Structure 1
Amino acid sequence: MASFKETLQTLGEVVSERFESLSAKLKQRLHYDEPIQIVPYASYGNQQRIKISGRALEDKGIEQRKDEESLWQNLAQAYQRFESDEIPNLQLKLHFQGQSLEVLTNQEGYFEASLPVSDLTAGGLWYDYQVEVPAQERLSAPCQAVTGKVQIPCPQCDFGIISDIDDTIMVTNATSTLSMMRLTFLRSPASRLPFAGVNTFYQALTQSGAVPRPIFYVSSSPWNLYDFLEEFMELNHIPLGTLFLRDFGLHTLKASHHDHKSTYIHQIMDTYPQLSFILIGDSGQHDPEVYSEIVTQRPQQVKAIYIRDVSTKESRDSEILRLAEQTREHHIDLCLVKTTSEAATHAVERGYIPASVLDQLKTAQEPPHAEQTRVESIINA
């Protein structure tokens, strides 16, 4: 028998879906007067096919790259991101390497398509694709085509990287719900902090091979934060990669952090069965458990695991060290590290990156923490 919580979630999903459906039908009858924003996600593929995805939304006019924004501006933009107005059943036309494919967005405004690959540049990694919005009766104004990126690793690539985001590359304090919400809603991408040396380490991992190595970011953050995370990475010179996030809605309450990450990691590894990966995460949630489980299931596709120690509990460290013993049975190191330099040292020892990276990391320092606003101080009190 379903629990009260499960019944309530199911009821909430039905009500939410009915409301969104009615709202979409009403807008379709009245035509869309708001500007449309097509968000092409950084996508991925192999030598045979690519998988393109993105989303169609009403343009909220969220401006980028404001280094000095007020708390209220940040809060307003956070609200606009989470109160997104999706555009369902919108006709789109995708273009890649002279091929075209027509698709419709789903009820949440997402689109997804697969296209064959024909002509690739030797030694290349990133390629362009275009998303066009054909003229259609429901639109009251034209919409310009946009260009997205898709990464296709070369056959000569030696390995890839799969990384978490929160508390792995970006200081989030995900173990504290209140602190995490404060940082998410009251800070801009320019004021969010990366961990020291992350950009140097990740650049070395992706660029130190004979050909560029692909990187994938698998996070439990919602898709509504895609532009936020993309801008944060660009501002902090963290390599572009394909993001795998979660849909924001009542139905996602049923999906666990563990299942979400595991599903996407398997999907990535299925796409590149001949490629092995370095897995990077943190000790705050379930990354060590997810990654060690992947090692048990697909040891040939894991080179090493780096876990940033963000937990203050000794019992948590002991749990992770026990998992490290299990992965060592498969001759795979799970390294619990306090700093980026510790992970880089192991990577140098294994020949994944050059030793010169360690000299660069010696000068890497944690960026100065932005002063708390009055409202943030009250929240933290």
Structure 2
Amino acid sequence: MKRRPGIFAPSVGGIRRLALAWLLSLACALPAAAGADRVSVYPAYGDGVSLTIEGRVVESRDGPLAAADDGRLRNLWRNFRLWINDERKRVPVDLTVGESSMRTCTDDEGYFRLQTSQVLPAGWHEIAASSAKGVGRGRLLVVPQANRLGMISDLDDTILVSEVTSKPRLLANSFLKNSTQRQAVPGMAALYARTLAANPQPASAPLFYLSASPRQLFETIDEFLAGNGFPAGVLITKRVTDDASSDPLFDQFAYKTRQIEVILERLPWVRFVLVGDDGERDPEIYDWVRRRHPERVAEIWIRRVRGDGGAPLPPGQKALPAVLAGE
């Protein structure tokens, strides 16, 4: 007689739940590193007069850095730790940009946000941030007025192979691999560099990586971009909280169109190439942006991940193989 799953023969689903519970208990039990803080500063951008700086302060938990030979269990443990944060509520944060120093304070989720008017020369600038128990550094891009061509790029399945059309493979790529093991879409880093070289100052080109991933994954995405030779850009990730300040968790259309509208408003002299994939709603989102701001959209490039089963692209959008081939 075939045994039914029970106390002595747990189901596969039960085993998975027990394993996840064990991993979560390990992550939660990790002590703070001598009471230290981890101060994250998210990439910022401005027009040389006004800028917005955002970041987060949470409990610091030391652990081994990601390596190419890490196994799946180590990666799963590390990735789950990113979601478990003891946020530092209402703590002061000191910021330094250029010769200016400012102070702000974290909210109940550990996030901080500072808007300021400050004249800065064009190019990349370092941001230093410190709490009472930690320090962090970030980057700020002041876009030169002479740079008039920019790019706004999706991440998953546009430049990072995620396989969003298959939930099991998407979860395996997201949780069982680390940033050194994730696969970049071939040719994309070189394409971006080649496209932005049309600007007088390519190193300071307005390049935005617009990701639907939560900010807890910011560091791992940043490591992936740097490790695969993508040009320096501003990485935008979702603020996910349990209050009204949260970005939409599932409504990608609302999230991405709002972020793109902000970019267009802050950099009115720049025309953008929009790059995405047809795994979710990028063709629809970019078509909406083009109809609303036709003079601001230079090109729309879409990577087809659904194959022949995908819907036809809206008029004016190009499939990426043709772009990569120089057609």
Q: Work out whether residues 305 and 334 of structure 1, in 8 Å CA contact, stay in contact via their aligned partners in 2.
A: yes
Work out the CA distance in 1 between the residues paired with 2:304 and 2:54: 33
Residue in 2 that maps onto 1:181 = 171
> Which of the pair is proportionally richer in strand?
2
**Residue 255 of structure 1: how far off its partner (Å):** 4.7
Corresponding residue pairs, total: 291
1:242 shift after superposition: 1.3
CA deviation profile, 1:198-243 (whole Å, cap 9, x unmatched): 1111222233421121210111111111011011111111122212
Cα deviation per residue 1:232-280 (whole Å; 9 max; x = unaligned)? Answer: 1111111222122123456666650111111100011111112110000
The answer to whether structure 1 residue 226 and structure 2 residue 218 are counterparts is: yes
Is residue 188 of structure 2 the alignment partner of residue 198 of structure 1?
A: yes
CA contact (8 A) 1:43 1:151 kept: yes
Correspondence for 1:128 among 122, 126, 129: 126
Amino acid of the structure 2 residue aligned with 1:301: R
Aligned counterpart for 1:274 among listed residues 257, 269, 277: 269
Counterpart for residue 82 of structure 1: 83
Q: Provide the residue aligned with 1:100 in structure 2.
A: 101
2:25 corresponds in structure 1 to none
Give 1:33-182 correspondences, 5 Å limit: 34-120=35-121, 124-133=122-131, 135=132, 142-143=133-134, 145-182=135-172
Return the match for 1:343 from 315, 323, 326: 323
2:201 aligned counterpart, secondary structure: coil
One-letter amino acid of the structure 2 residue matched with residue 37 of structure 1: R
1:98-128 Cα deviation digits (max 9, x unpaired): 22221111122111112223241xxx52111
Give, in whole Å, the separation in 1 of the partners of 2:53 and 2:256: 20
* Matched AA of 1:203: A
Q: Residues of 2 paired with 1:33 and 1:262: CA distance? A: 42
| Compared CA separation, residues 119 and 252, structure 1 to 2 (3 A) | closer
2:200 matched to which residue of 1?
210
Alpha-carbon deviation of 1:32?
9.8
- C-alpha contact (below 8 Å) 2:210/2:237 kept by paired residues: yes
Secondary structure of the structure 1 residue equivalent to 2:311: helix
| Aligned with 1:247 (options 218, 239, 248) | 239
Amino acid at match of 2:152: I
- Contact 1:97-1:118 within 8 A present in 2 as well: no
Q: Could you tell me which amino acid in structure 2 is paired with residue 240 of structure 1?
A: A
Secondary structure in structure 2 of the residue aligned to 1:290: helix
- Give TM-score, length-normalised by structure 1: 0.72
RMSD between superposed Cα atoms in Å: 2.0
Identify the residue that residue 367 of structure 1 maps to in structure 2.
none
CA distance in 1, matches of 2:247, 2:267: 27
- Kept in 2: contact 1:284–1:311 (CA 8 A): yes
In the alignment, is the contact (CA less than 8 A) between 1:189 and 1:232 conserved in 2? yes
SS in structure 2 opposite 1:203?
helix
Does the residue aligned with 2:178 lie in a helix, a strand or coil? Answer: coil
**Cα deviation digits, residues 314-351 of structure 1 (max 9, x gap):** 3x332x2xx22xxxxxxxx31023x3xx22445xx7xx
Distance in structure 2 (CA, Å) of the matches to 1:232 and 1:42: 15
Q: Give the conservation status (yes or no) of the 8 Å contact 2:41–2:56.
A: yes
TM-superposed deviation, 1:159: 1.1
Cα distance, 1:196 vs. partner?
A: 0.6
Unaligned runs of 5+ in 1: 1-30, 136-141, 325-332, 350-381
1:301: Cα distance to partner?
0.7
Residues 1:334 and 2:314 aligned together: no
Between the aligned partners of 1:82 and 1:132, the Cα distance in structure 2 is 22
1:285 to 267, 280, 299: 280
Question: Partners in 1 of 2:166 and 2:137 — Cα distance?
Answer: 38
- Report the identity percentage: 24
